[in-house]
Every structure is written in structure tokens, then in C-alpha cells.
């Protein structure tokens, strides 16, 4: 197996050459005789995990979830999920003697009268932000590199559900302290529920056990927050991990790395050590944030009072985009047959997020339907090599970002001394126009990068050496790419024939029967999907390019070995003793 002849002796002398069964071996034997784990562990202990910085993003999400569980358990020991009214007598002087709910009073107690309580509260909140942010960035990584393609579509669906549940978990969590800000959020949520057609008021009365605010919502949110959603999250995370292990991780193409293998470090010891060490780093960074970065200082907001509100009320950032949609939606309401339909709440809060989420869930299936690609994919694609896919996500991100900005339209107005009305009118149009512009720019940008790759392959890379010919003309010297680089750049699939009609042609070359109602539509979309994409060079183009390069190289051959041969920068020979100017 691995050549460990020179590996640090501290590793090899003890473990590998142990003479009698070690203690670890004895424990493993004991366990195997009862659990029979050896046949499964045999494969997995040395399971290979490829290395790349972007594969760490999902790990941040996983470990911040563990931090959430640990800090969350600590918080439950003191937090009282009750809306019963008490008078505050704790350490925070400004609120002493004030009536408040037990939930709020116990949040103050955690912040001021339990040592480490404020730290745990802040770590819990920061870990929640980290959890959701890293899930989002991980999702983008998976999408931009095409890692969601067959056979990993179901893991994409599980991941999307995790993001949705994580968001709900965040909302139920920051509603628990029952401070003025969170109470305002719950009240807005009541408004959303009431806007639901037909059953809205019933749902509101069931949720709050009568009229808002009632006495039931905090205990109910608490059960959802500490039991229901964490249970679902745990189960889905387990499924996510199991599928990851079963499919084996994707990898970037490169020398020795193909669709059929996976190259990397074994689970034991390197990957286990790196991932385990990374857990401590995520945990430690969260502790650092909890120590020095204040978050959600509930004592400053005061207890919830339904007749009060603070200016600049804003939900946590991940709830910002539906809130932004709510802000810029025109106030439209329909009244007919004695009922009311509040489009101004219904569309931005109930329809839009569900629509966006459904699109997110379906992305892998939409992609497979458009491309007709039924192969397994284990090599990642560079974003530039799927221009339309990349542009689609950038358009969605742009829309998200603009909605998110709309969620802070009051803050933008104050900071920029601009009119909130004009900002709102601008954003109403921008959420539709912005994604289109972003789509076009991204797509063309990707295609330009594809062209650049082909230029490098066919004509070599730019050395930065300017040549002057005998006639006095100037040109830049190009040199061929290193073999490993050229292999990596071309380790990608060619796109199907862009007109998309090839599959409808039968054996005689005649159009076959239409395969389904949407085949025509699909082919039109497919044409647009691949239009203008640049394919990697054909062998003929490559040969022609090399021929041209050889000719050029011949002309420049007298330079070889001299400083100006252009090899200073690609490591072909050392440059320490050379001085370009002296030649």
C-alpha cells in the first residue's frame, strides 16, 4: 500500500510493527464479536476523501450544528419557555421592577446572572448564523461545480430541506427571548398567517391559542425549536452524510483523477484528523465570536409590549430577503364576495419563498431534463464550462441580493441620505431587471473564459516576453502549457450538438416520432442552453495549433537556454543567477 518507509518514524514504529495485539486491537475484537463491524469498517477506515478548500464549506455547517446542539443544551438549563408575567428583580438595574414574561426574565438571567450564560447565548446565536451562511455557500459551491448531478440529486434535495429547516429553526430560536424585537417579528408572522386565504384566522387562533399574543406561542415555539426541528435536522444530516459516503466525494479533474476513481487522503488517519481538528477550530472561532462580538443584546430592547416598536426593526439576516419582498410589494388587496385577499402579504411571504424553494429543489432535475444527461458525474466542472448554469445561479443570487437590500431600504435611505420612496421604486424594477443583466453578463463572461482556455491550449500561454523581430515588429512569446495543465483543462465533456435534434432522427436519418409533449420546448431550451458555448479543441485543431507553435519555436530556438526563452516563470530551469537585462 502506501510507502511509509520515510514517514515520520514516530508513526511507523509503534502502530505498524506492534508485536503483540495492541489494546486498541483488543477493544476492536471485543466490539466485533458483538457488533460485527469489521467487515464494514474494513472498507471505510481507509476510505479516500479528496482535498480541496471548497469541500470544507459543508464541514463548517456540520460542525456549527454540533456547536448549536452543545450550547443549546446549556441554554435550556436556565431558559424558562413561559409567557407568565413576573416582575424582574435580577442584576440588570434598568429593568428592575418591570413586568415581563418569564421567558424574557430568564433570558436576562442567562445574560447577567449565570456565569458563561451570555457567552453561550452569543455563541449559540453566532453558530446559528454560521450554520445558515455556510449551508448557503456550500449550496452555491455544489451548484457552480455541478456536484448536484447524477447520482447526487437526492442529496441536493436533502441539503435544500436542511437549509429550509435551518431557517425555520433560526426564526423560532430568535423569537424565544420574548424581547421587543422578537415579539415584533412574531406579530408580523401573525399578520402573515392571517393573510392566508380561507383558513388564515383559524390558523392564527390555533397557533396562538386565541387572539395574539396569548400565552401559548413561546412554549410552542420552544418545543418546535428544541425538539421537532433539531430532530428532523439530525435525521436529514445523517442521511446527507450517509449518501456522501456511499457516493464517494466528487473531485476536481487533474492528472490521475478521473470519473472512475477518487484520489485523496484516507479517512484514517489524515482525513479524520483534519476534519476532527477542524471541528475544534469551528468551535473555537465561535467561542471567540461569543467572547468579543455582541449579538442580540435583548436587554437593550426591553420586554415585548404589543403597543411598542423600535425603529429599524429587522429580522436576522437570513429572513431579510422575504422581508425585503414584503417591503417593496405594492399595496394590493382584493375584496370580493365578502372576503379579502391580501396580495401585498400573500405574494411576497407565502408564494415567493415557496416558489423560490421549489425552484431550488428542482434545479438538478430541470438541469437533467434540459441537457438529457443521464450519466453519472463524479468530476467537478468549472463554473465557466457550464455558462448557462452558472449564469442561472448568478441571476438567482442577484435577485436574492436585491430582495435582501430591499429588506434594509430604510437603513440604505438613512445612510445614503436618499429618498426611501425612490429606493423602493428602484428596487421594484431592479428585482426583475437585475437578474436578467446579471445572467447575460455572467454567461458572456464564462464564454470568454472558455475562449481564453482554448487560446492557452492552442497557442500556449503568454510568457510576458516581448520579442522584436529582425524587421522591428514586436510580438509576445507564447509557450505551450505544461502537460498536466493541458490535461486538466481538457478533462471535460463536450456539449451535445447544440441544435438538439439529433435524438429525434431515426436510423434512416428521418425525424422520428415526437417523444413527449414537451420535447419541442425542451429542444428549444437546450439550443439556448448550449448556444455560444466554446467546446474544447478537436484533435485536429490541437494538431494545427501545435504545428504553428512548433514553427514559431523553431524561429525562437536560438533563445533556448538564455534568459529570454520565457521559461523563467514555468519552473523549467532555475532563474536565480540570471539577469534579463544583462543579455
Partner 1 sequence: MSTPPTNDDHAHDEPVDENLPARDDLFANPGLPEHHWRPTDVDPKAEKRAERQVATLFGLSAVCTILLIVSYFAFEIGEDPDVIGGFGASNLTIGLSMAGMLLFIGIGIIQWARKLMADQEIVEYRHPAASSEEDRQATLAALNAGLEESGIGRRPLVRNSLLGALGLLGLPAVVMLRDLGPTPHQVGPDKKIDYPGAGIEHTIWAKGMRVVRDVVGTPIKPSDLEIGDLVNAEPEALFNGGEDGEPLEGVVLQINKSKGAVVVVRMEPDDIIPGKGRENWSVDGIVCYSKICTHVGCPISLYERTTHHLLCPCHQSTFDLADSAKVVFGPAARALPQLPLEVDSEGYLVAQAPFDEPVGPSFWERG
Nearer to partner 1, 525 or 559 (CB): 525
φ and ψ of 99, to 5 deg: -75, 140
Per CB under 8 A, does 401 bind partner 1? no
Q: How far is the CB of 105 from partner 1 (least distance, A)?
A: 14
Nearer to partner 1, 150 or 553 (CB): 150
Q: At what angle do helices 420-459 and 409-416 cross, to 10 degrees?
A: 90
> Which cell numbers in the block locate residue 45?
477506515
How many CB atoms neighbour CB 126 within 10 A?
Answer: 23
> Which cell numbers in the block locate residue 18?
506492534
Per CB under 8 A, does 112 bind partner 1? yes
Query: Is residue 239 helix, strand or coil?
Result: helix
Q: Total binding residues for partner 1 by CB under 8 A?
A: 146
Note whether 225 and 170 are within 8 A (CB).
Answer: no
Binding flags for partner 1, 430-469, as an x/- string (CB under 8 A): ----------------------------------------
- Give the closest residue to 429 by CA, choosing from 335, 330, 345, 501: 330
How far apart are alpha carbons 448 and 442 in whole angstroms? 10
> Which cell numbers in the block locate residue 174?
430568535
Single residue of 327, 382, 384, 522 touching partner 1 by CB under 8 A = 327
- In angstroms, the Cα distances linking 550 to 106, 479, 555 are 78, 10, 9
Nearer to partner 1, 127 or 136 (CB): 127
Angle at Cα 385 formed by Cα 384 and Cα 389, nearest 5°? 80
Single residue of 14, 87, 91, 475 touching partner 1 by CB under 8 A = 91
Note whether 144 and 390 are within 8 A (CB).
Answer: yes
Single residue of 34, 292, 571, 582 touching partner 1 by CB under 8 A = 292
Query: Is residue 295 helix, strand or coil?
Result: coil
Note whether 507 and 422 are within 8 A (CB).
Answer: no
The DSSP secondary-structure symbol of 315 reads -
Q: How far is the CB of 374 from partner 1 (least distance, A)?
A: 5
Residue bearing cell 401573525:
190
Single residue of 14, 18, 85, 354 touching partner 1 by CB under 8 A = 85
Per CB under 8 A, which of residues 32..61 are in contact with partner 1?
A: 46-48, 51
Nearer to partner 1, 4 or 29 (CB): 4
Nearer to partner 1, 490 or 556 (CB): 490
Binding flags for partner 1, 190-229, as an x/- string (CB under 8 A): xxx-xxxxxxxxx-xxxxxxxxxxxxx-------------
Q: How far is the CB of 476 from partner 1 (least distance, A)?
A: 24
Per CB under 8 A, does 427 bind partner 1? no
Single residue of 24, 227, 309, 575 touching partner 1 by CB under 8 A = 309
Q: How far is the CB of 469 from partner 1 (least distance, A)?
A: 31
Nearer to partner 1, 247 or 553 (CB): 247
How far apart are alpha carbons 499 and 262 in whole angstroms? 34
Spatial neighbors of 98 by CB under 8 A, at least 6 apart, are 87, 88, 302, 303
Per CB under 8 A, which of residues 155..184 are in contact with partner 1?
A: 184
Single residue of 34, 39, 97, 307 touching partner 1 by CB under 8 A = 307
What count of Cα atoms within 13 Å lies in the side-chain half-sphere of residue 268? Answer: 7
Nearer to partner 1, 113 or 578 (CB): 113
Q: How far is the CB of 542 from partner 1 (least distance, A)?
A: 6
Nearer to partner 1, 251 or 442 (CB): 251
How far apart are alpha carbons 92 and 349 in whole angstroms? 37
φ and ψ of 82, to 5 deg: -140, 145
Nearer to partner 1, 100 or 360 (CB): 100
Per CB under 8 A, does 280 bind partner 1? yes
Single residue of 313, 527, 556, 568 touching partner 1 by CB under 8 A = 313
Per CB under 8 A, does 7 bind partner 1? yes
Q: How far is the CB of 393 from partner 1 (least distance, A)?
A: 22
Q: How far is the CB of 465 from partner 1 (least distance, A)?
A: 25
The distance of Cα 166 from the centroid of its chain, to the nearest Å, equals 13
Binding flags for partner 1, 229-268, as an x/- string (CB under 8 A): -----------------xxx------xxxxxxxxxxxx--
Per CB under 8 A, which region of 168-176, 233-241, 429-437, 535-543 contacts partner 1? 535-543
Q: How far is the CB of 372 from partner 1 (least distance, A)?
A: 5
Q: How far is the CB of 407 from partner 1 (least distance, A)?
A: 9
Query: Is residue 446 helix, strand or coil?
Result: helix
Q: How far is the CB of 290 from partner 1 (least distance, A)?
A: 5
Nearer to partner 1, 396 or 495 (CB): 495
Nearer to partner 1, 338 or 473 (CB): 338
Nearer to partner 1, 375 or 468 (CB): 375
Nearer to partner 1, 36 or 197 (CB): 197
- Which residues are paired to 498 by β-bridges? none
Per CB under 8 A, does 560 bind partner 1? no
Question: 544-547 contacts: CB < 8 A, separation 24 or more?
Answer: 544/458, 545/457, 545/458, 545/459, 546/480
Burial class (CB in 10 A: 0-12, 13-18, 19+), 165: middle
Per CB under 8 A, which region of 30-38, 396-404, 465-473, 493-501 contacts partner 1? 493-501
Per CB under 8 A, which of residues 338..397 are in contact with partner 1?
A: 338-342, 344-345, 348, 372-376, 378
How far apart are alpha carbons 513 and 493 in whole angstroms? 28
Q: With helix as H, strand as E and coil as C, how does 190-217 read? A: HHHHHCCCCCHHHHHHHHHCCCCCCCCH
Query: Is residue 182 helix, strand or coil?
Result: helix
φ and ψ of 242, to 5 deg: -60, -45
User: Judging by DSSP bridges, how do beta strands 85-87 and 99-101 pair with one another?
Assistant: antiparallel
Amino acid at each position: 500500500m502506501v510507502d511509509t518507509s520515510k514517514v515520520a518514524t514516530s508513526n511507523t514504529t509503534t502502530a505498524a510493527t506492534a508485536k503483540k495485539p495492541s489494546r486498541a486491537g483488543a477493544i476492536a475484537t471485543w466490539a466485533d464479536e458483538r457488533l460485527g463491524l469489521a467487515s464494514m469498517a474494513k472498507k471505510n477506515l481507509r476510505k479516500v476523501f479528496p482535498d480541496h478548500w471548497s469541500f470544507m464549506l459543508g464541514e463548517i455547517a456540520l460542525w456549527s450544528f454540533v456547536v448549536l446542539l452543545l450550547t443549546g443544551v446549556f441554554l435550556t438549563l436556565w431558559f424558562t419557555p413561559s409567557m407568565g408575567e413576573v416582575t424582574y428583580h435580577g442584576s440588570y438595574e434598568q429593568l428592575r421592577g418591570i413586568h415581563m414574561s418569564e421567558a424574557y426574565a430568564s433570558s436576562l438571567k442567562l445574560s447577567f446572572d449565570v456565569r458563561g450564560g451570555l457567552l453561550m447565548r452569543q455563541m449559540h446565536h453566532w453558530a446559528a448564523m454560521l450554520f445558515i451562511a455556510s449551508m448557503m455557500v456550500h449550496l452555491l459551491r455544489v451548484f457552480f461545480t455541478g456536484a448536484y448531478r447524477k447520482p447526487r440529486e437526492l442529496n441536493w434535495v436533502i441539503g435544500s430541506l436542511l437549509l429550509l429547516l435551518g431557517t425555520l429553526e433560526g426564526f423560532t430560536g430568535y423569537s424565544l427571548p420574548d424581547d421587543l424585537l422578537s415579539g415584533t417579528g412574531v406579530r408580523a408572522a401573525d399578520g402573515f398567517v392571517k393573510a392566508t386565504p380561507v383558513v388564515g384566522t383559524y390558523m392564527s387562533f390555533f397557533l396562538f391559542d386565541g387572539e395574539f399574543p396569548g400565552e401559548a406561542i413561546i412554549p410552542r415555539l420552544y418545543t418546535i425549536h428544541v425538539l421537532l426541528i433539531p430532530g428532523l435536522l439530525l435525521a436529514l444530516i445523517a442521511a446527507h452524510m450517509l449518501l456522501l459516503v456511499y457516493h464517494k466525494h466528487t473531485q476536481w479533474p487533474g492528472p490521475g483523477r478521473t470519473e472512475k476513481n477518487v484520489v485523496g487522503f484516507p479517512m484514517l488517519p489524515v482525513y479524520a484528523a483534519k476534519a476532527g481538528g477542524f471541528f475544534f477550530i469551528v468551535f473555537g472561532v465561535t467561542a471567540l465570536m461569543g467572547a468579543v462580538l455582541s449579538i442580540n443584546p435583548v436587554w437593550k430592547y426591553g420586554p415585548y409590549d404589543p403597543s411598542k416598536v423600535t425603529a429599524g426593526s429587522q429580522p436576522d439576516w437570513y429572513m431579510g430577503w422575504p422581508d425585503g419582498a414584503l417591503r417593496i410589494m405594492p399595496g394590493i388587496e382584493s375584496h370580493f364576495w365578502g372576503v379579502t385577499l391580501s396580495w401585498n402579504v400573500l405574494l411576497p411571504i407565502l408564494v415567493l419563498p415557496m416558489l423560490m424553494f421549489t425552484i431550488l429543489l428542482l434545479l438538478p432535475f430541470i438541469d437533467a431534463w434540459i441537457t438529457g444527461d443521464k450519466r453519472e458525474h463524479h468530476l467537478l466542472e468549472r463554473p465557466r464550462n457550464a455558462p448557462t448554469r452558472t449564469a442561472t445561479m448568478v441571476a438567482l443570487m442577484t435577485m436574492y441580493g436585491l430582495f435582501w437590500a430591499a429588506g434594509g431600504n430604510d437603513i440604505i435611505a438613512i445612510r445614503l441620505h436618499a429618498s426611501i420612496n425612490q429606493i423602493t421604486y428602484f428596487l421594484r424594477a431592479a428585482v426583475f431587471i437585475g437578474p436578467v443583466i446579471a445572467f447575460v453578463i455572467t454567461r458572456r463572461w464564462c464564454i470568454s473564459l472558455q475562449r481564453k482556455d482554448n487560446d492557452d491550449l492552442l497557442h500556449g500561454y503568454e510568457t510576458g516576453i516581448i520579442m522584436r523581430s529582425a524587421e522591428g515588429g514586436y510580438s509576445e512569446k507564447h509557450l505551450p502549457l505544461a502537460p498536466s495543465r493541458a490535461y486538466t483543462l481538457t478533462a471535460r465533456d463536450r456539449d451535445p450538438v447544440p441544435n438538439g435534434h439529433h435524438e429525434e432522427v431515426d436510423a434512416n436519418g428521418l425525424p422520428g416520432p415526437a417523444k413527449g409533449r414537451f420535447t419541442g420546448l425542451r429542444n428549444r431550451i437546450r439550443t439556448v442552453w448550449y448556444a455560444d458555448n466554446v467546446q474544447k479543441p478537436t484533435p485536429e485543431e490541437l494538431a494545427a495549433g501545435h504545428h504553428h507553435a512548433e514553427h514559431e519555436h523553431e524561429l525562437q530556438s536560438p533563445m533556448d537556454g538564455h534568459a529570454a526563452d520565457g521559461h523563467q516563470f514555468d519552473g523549467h530551469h532555475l532563474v536565480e543567477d540570471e539577469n534579463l537585462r544583462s543579455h
